Amino acid sequence: MTTNSNWQRTEEMAKKHDQGSSTWLKLGNDGDKAVIVFLGEPHAREVCFVDGKYQAFDDKLKAQGLKPSLRVALNVALYDTKELKVLEQGVTFFKDLVRVREKYTLEKWAFEIQRHGAAKDPKTTYSLLPEHQLTPEQQKEFQGLKLQDLEKLYSGEGSGDSLGSYDRKDDGVIDPGTAQAIAAQLKTMPREAVERFCKKFGITRIKDLPVAQVEKARALVEVLASEYAAPAASGTPEQDPFA
């Protein structure tokens, strides 16, 4: 008979596999947690949430009477696997992190971050507790990891080197399976996101993406997914990018 412990263990394994396929550290549900090591400098953006997505705060939005909020991105590494992730949070979490940094020194500890709040709950909070004190050898190993260039990542200009290694021996277009996976993600976003993606790579169809651009394409999809929350708008472009 299948036990509850088997269900729980399998659920935890599924979460780890989901984390492994993403640039971002995702804690999507109440109680989700991860043990991480903070690395590098924070990357702050002043943004407004407009039409279901974050937009960089500018004079135009200011003239509309909108006020900015702060979003902060940080490089983190998963303690168990040393996989690099990007953690994005708001100003409340960052203030808590500053206090933790002053008390513990981030470089010397691995911290447990846990979500408190259901998916899309605006009152969601995150707790941060020291979990493992790092040995000098571990500190050196974590600090030696190559970090994401957060500024380039958020602009969609991240290079293949900063986003991870990729074998570019094939100069053709992506295989049908990869094209289908990217298309499936883009179909959940507004038409504007798809147009931005295609314009970035100079294509009109997803299946025409050069294989050498796969890593950049996946990183851009992650960025677009974090920006767009609204469902894709109706209407058909002149050239169907999913054809």
Instruction: Read off the pLDDT of residues 67-126 as tens digits, 9 standing for 90 and up.
Output: 888 999 999 999 999 999 999 999 999 999 999 999 999 999 999 999 999 987 888 999
Q: Are residues 68 and 107 in the same domain?
A: yes
Q: Are residues 137 and 231 in the same domain?
A: no
Calpha distance 176→165 (Å, rounded): 21
What's the domain count of the chain? 2
Q: Which residue has the higher pLDDT, 173 or 205?
A: 205
Q: Are residues 119 and 31 in the same domain?
A: yes
Q: Are residues 216 and 142 in the same domain?
A: no
Range of the domain at 224: 170-243
Q: Are residues 101 and 199 in the same domain?
A: no
Does any domain span residue 228?
yes
Summarised one tens digit per residue, pLDDT across range 118-152 is 987 888 999 999 999 999 999 999 999 999 999 88
Q: Are residues 25 and 143 in the same domain?
A: yes
* pTM as predicted: 0.58
- Work out the mean pLDDT of the chain and round it to a whole number: 81
Contact (CB, 8 A) for 92 and 122: no
pLDDT of residue 162: 34
Q: Are residues 118 and 234 in the same domain?
A: no
| Phi-psi region at 51: left, alpha or beta (left = phi > 0; alpha = psi -120 to 50) | left
Calpha distance 106→88 (Å, rounded): 17
